[in-house]
Amino acid sequence: MSKFSGEIMNKYIFSRFPPSRDVAVGPGTGIDVAITRLKNDLFLVSHLDPIVGAIKRIGWLAVHIACNDIITAGVRPSWILPLILFPEKWDEEMLDEITKDISTAAQETKVSVIGGHTGYSPGSLKPLVAITALGVSDSKFIISSGAQAGDAVIMTKGAGIEGTAIIAEDFDDILSEKQIGQEVITRAKGFINDISIIPEALIMRKYANAMHDATRGGVMEALLEIASASGMDIEVYKDKIPVREETKIFSERLGFDPLWMISSGTLVVSLCESRVEEALQRLRDSNIIASCVGRVRKGEGRLFFHERNIKKIYDKPMPENDELARLWRNYPRT
């Protein structure tokens, strides 16, 4: 699934739903969460996200991805409300699998299921799971528009984490046809265990000016959205962005760019440059791989992407540009 362009969102969504006086952070491009004032210095942090770009473990993914967005505000998620829509041809085995996966993920993220909706949709071919996640914060929260000139940009784990795991699970027949060995596919399936960013976000909230989970559009879109939301330019260098070997193999055989591949599990952080080494050491101490991939400077919300001696300039987010969505079009699954 892809998103609408920023122009469409501004015309039909953001302009029609202005935040009320109780809303500290409302909807906007690149903004992960809504933050609503409850009383004094107590705030409700909320997020809604659907999962339709996967089939296997869709319920588990949905919980972790929604909770990831809450933690980017530096706030632990506490509650979730799942919406589960089954395809017209559903069965109890599918219901059992999805609800069991939601239960497992809720235990892993330490959140409670407090409500939701379950049903089926005539004409639909695949299940859809959407999760509303909620948390409560004092006035100390982080938003993706907080990047400051002079910040460094850190990225955890690697590019294309989620997309690689989904491809390994849902496109395994295509991978075999492309002569990719089963041992590579099995290792890539294990990337699913890296989807949660809660461990690194709990560490980085002490340092971060802005945090963003690299979901649809991958690492490049996450960087673009931080730049745009913050009104700052970001300089990033391709050779500093880690890409795991399994992701490289998949991208070469299937013809996609891992930097634009959905990458839940990759946390992008903007933080004061003087604190980079301390933050990286804290992550290493927790066995979390991380790299400094760029810098923030005053500008106009653009991304400057350096690849060898070539510099590309992106001047606006491109949420409709996601490589997993393109693969689903090229290799339809049922």
CATH of the domain at 43: 3.30.1330.10
The whole-angstrom separation of Cα 57 and Cα 216 is 18
pLDDT tens digits, residue range 179-225? 999 999 999 999 999 999 999 999 999 999 999 999 889 999 999 99
Cα 226 from Cα 296, distance rounded (Å): 10
**Residues 238 and 281 occupy one common structural domain:** yes
Residue with tokens 């907080």: 146
Q: Are residues 133 and 192 in the same domain?
A: no
Q: Greater confidence, 305 or 9?
A: 305
CA distance 41 to 230: 24
Shared domain check, 125 and 157: no
**Distance between CA atoms of residues 132 and 242, nearest Å:** 31
**127-156: average pLDDT:** 94
pLDDT of residue 13: 83
Same domain? For 127 and 215 the reply is no
**Residue 295 belongs to what H/E stretch?**
strand 290-298
Query: For the segment 160-174, what is each residue's pLDDT rounded down to a tens digit?
Result: 999 999 999 989 999
CATH number of the domain that residue 225 is part of: 3.90.650.10
Q: Report the greatest alpha carbon distance in the chain.
A: 60
Residue 9 lies in a domain: no
**Which of these three, 137, 168, 187, is where a domain ends?**
137
Angle at CA 27, nearest 5°, toward 22 and 28? Answer: 135
- In a domain? residue 15: no
Residues 241, 306: one domain? yes
Torsion sign (Cα): 317, 153, 160, 102: negative
**Do 311 and 163 sit in the same domain of this protein?**
yes
Same structural domain, 182 and 127: no
133 lies in the same domain as 206 = no
21: in domain: no
Q: Is the pLDDT of residue 226 over 80?
A: yes
Residue 227 belongs to some domain of the structure: yes
Residue 142 located in a structural domain:
no
Sequence length of the chain is 334
Domain for residue 24, yes or no? no
Tens of pLDDT, residues 243-280: 999 999 999 999 999 999 999 999 999 999 999 999 99
Same domain, yes or no: 219 and 106: no
pLDDT for 311 equals: 94
Residue finishing a domain among 105, 137, 169: 137
Q: Checking DSSP bridges between strand 112-113 and strand 79-87, what pairing results, if any?
A: parallel
Q: Are residues 123 and 50 in the same domain?
A: yes
6 is a domain residue: no
pLDDT band at 89 (very low <50, low <70, confident <90, very high): confident
pLDDT tens, residue by residue, 99-112: 999 999 999 999 99
In a domain, 126, yes or no: yes
Same domain? 112 vs 194: no
Strand ranges (DSSP E) for 52-148?
79-87, 112-113, 117-121, 128-137
Query: End of a domain among 78, 103, 137?
Result: 137
Per-residue confidence at 125, pLDDT binned at 50, 70, 90?
confident
Domain that holds residue 310: 151-330
Instruction: Report the domain count for the chain.
Output: 2
Residues 133 and 162 in one domain: no
